[in-house]
Amino acid sequence: METYNIAVLPGDGIGPEVMDVTLKVLDLVAEHHQLQFSFQKADVGGTAIDQHGTALPDPTLEICRQSDAILFGSVGGPKWEHLPPKEQPERASLLPLRKAFSLFANLRPGLLYPSLIPASPLKPEIIPDGIDILCVRELTGGIYFGDRYTKVLGNNDIEAADTMIYRKSEIERIARVAISAAQNRKKRVCLVDKANVLETSVLWRKTVSDYMEAYAPDIELETMYVDNAAMQLVRNPSQFDVILTENMFGDILSDEMGVVCGSLGMLASASLGMLENRFAHPFGLFEPAGGTAPDIAGKNLANPCAQILSAALLLRFSLGLDEVAAAIEHAVSKVVNGGTRTGDIAFGGPFVSTTEMGDAICMALSA
């Protein structure tokens, strides 16, 4: 039996609670599908600062290196907010992990089940069937990584600049990710750019359309300016299947999409790298879109769905276990649509605990 090595980094706040429930779900699907998962747990974030003096200790990084993928909880909290920005748990663990594994592709599913429509700030008539979008964002290039400066000019004015640089190879690399994701969805990609103004966007348009014409003629490609995309996400989000975009536009649009989809407790994310693991799939880090929720941490109140759905993405993208991932996703939707709710999605009605939600999902998987 093949053994899949998964680095498990629960982190802080609600991280350990939702991770425990998620590992139970993974153990159960392993049993059902004759798989073997080997979980290597390691400290990260504030917990790691307390235990080892640093947010990403070397042994944790080494465990990640020995693994096929990383299942990450979330990090940070009031206890570590006094630290200098560079030493803050999020910055000092997630950024080095992204760098160490060249995680260039960020995938954020924007999923809103029809039964959770009241969680969205949008009017129900705009989203009668809920929302199902995948945002694919380039994560290691563009303006966040280009040269920058601030300088005082001769006339005592001040000038600052940030440079947005993209290479054709970088664009093709992320286009491949969007294409492969679209193949398993509705086969539609919307490239979001600002090609009426930016040179980099002109390159994105040409590169993506040439690449898709050559290698993915079955995928429908649409292009949209970013200002229009921001508007369309609130006017008619159902028109999107896969959104493909560069780093800064993706940063903004994926957060907007998260808000439109309602609760953070339901939203998963994946960051994929170039490195192929033993199974010829990209290495990746999989984590909930939300943070450590200090307001409810330690109370068995957190919604574990985002973490469980992140584990499903791990199975699909890094281990190639699409069927097992789909079984987990189906169980989560069945439980939530069936009315079992944690507090964040209960709309004032009765709600269950983190562990009870996990048990309900395990029961749905076993049914």
Q: Applying CB under 6 A, does 22 fall inside the site for ligand NAD?
A: no
Q: Applying CB under 6 A, does 296 fall inside the site for ligand NAD?
A: yes
- Residue 211 a catalytic site member: no
Stretch that binds ligand NAD, among 30-38, 69-77, 213-221, 275-283 (CB under 6 A): 69-77
Supply the minimum distance, in Å, between the C-beta of residue 189 and ligand NAD.
26
Distances (CA, A) of 50 to 47, 55, 121, 190: 5, 9, 38, 44
Question: Of these residues, 162, 194, 225, 359, which one is catalytic?
Answer: 194
Between 21 and 175, name the residue whose CB sits nearer to ligand NAD: 21
Quick count: other Cβ atoms within 10 Å of Cβ 316?
24
Supply the minimum distance, in Å, between the C-beta of residue 165 and ligand NAD.
26
Site for ligand NAD in 78-117 (CB under 6 A): 90, 94
Stretch that binds ligand NAD, among 21-29, 50-58, 218-226, 289-297 (CB under 6 A): 289-297
Counting residues that bind ligand NAD (by CB under 6 A) gives 21
Q: Applying CB under 6 A, does 19 fall inside the site for ligand NAD?
A: no
Between 18 and 221, name the residue whose CB sits nearer to ligand NAD: 18
Is the Cβ–Cβ distance between 63 and 70 less than 8 Å?
no
Q: Applying CB under 6 A, does 245 fall inside the site for ligand NAD?
A: no
User: Rounded to 5 degrees, what are φ and ψ at 8?
Assistant: -115, 115
Q: Applying CB under 6 A, does 264 fall inside the site for ligand NAD?
A: yes
Supply the minimum distance, in Å, between the C-beta of residue 241 and ligand NAD.
26
Q: Is the dihedral of CA 46, 78, 96, 304 positive or negative?
A: positive
Structure tokens at 354: 């983190």
User: Rounded to 5 degrees, what are φ and ψ at 197?
Assistant: -130, -45
Q: For ligand NAD, which residue of 294, 326, 351, 359 counts as binding (CB under 6 A)?
A: 294
Q: For ligand NAD, which residue of 9, 29, 61, 76 counts as binding (CB under 6 A)?
A: 76
Question: Which residue has the closest beta carbon to ligand NAD?
Answer: 291
**Calpha distance 175→138 (Å, rounded):** 9
Q: Applying CB under 6 A, does 74 fall inside the site for ligand NAD?
A: yes
Strand pairing class (69-74; 3-11): parallel
Closest CA to 24 of 218, 350, 307: 307
Between 225 and 351, name the residue whose CB sits nearer to ligand NAD: 351
Question: Of these residues, 210, 227, 299, 322, which one is catalytic?
Answer: 227
Q: x/- string (CB under 6 A) for ligand NAD, residues 337-366?
A: -------x----------------------
- Residue 147 a catalytic site member: no
Question: Of these residues, 27, 144, 162, 359, which one is catalytic?
Answer: 144
- Residue 227 a catalytic site member: yes
**Calpha distance 264→252 (Å, rounded):** 16
Rg (CA), the chain: 21
Between 253 and 306, name the residue whose CB sits nearer to ligand NAD: 306
Stretch that binds ligand NAD, among 234-242, 244-252, 253-261, 295-303 (CB under 6 A): 295-303
Between 90 and 170, name the residue whose CB sits nearer to ligand NAD: 90
Q: For ligand NAD, which residue of 302, 309, 312, 321 counts as binding (CB under 6 A)?
A: 302
**Can you give the binding site for ligand NAD, defined by CB under 6 A?**
14, 74-77, 90, 94, 264-265, 287, 290-296, 302-303, 306, 344
Residues annotated as part of the active site: 144, 194, 227, 251, 255
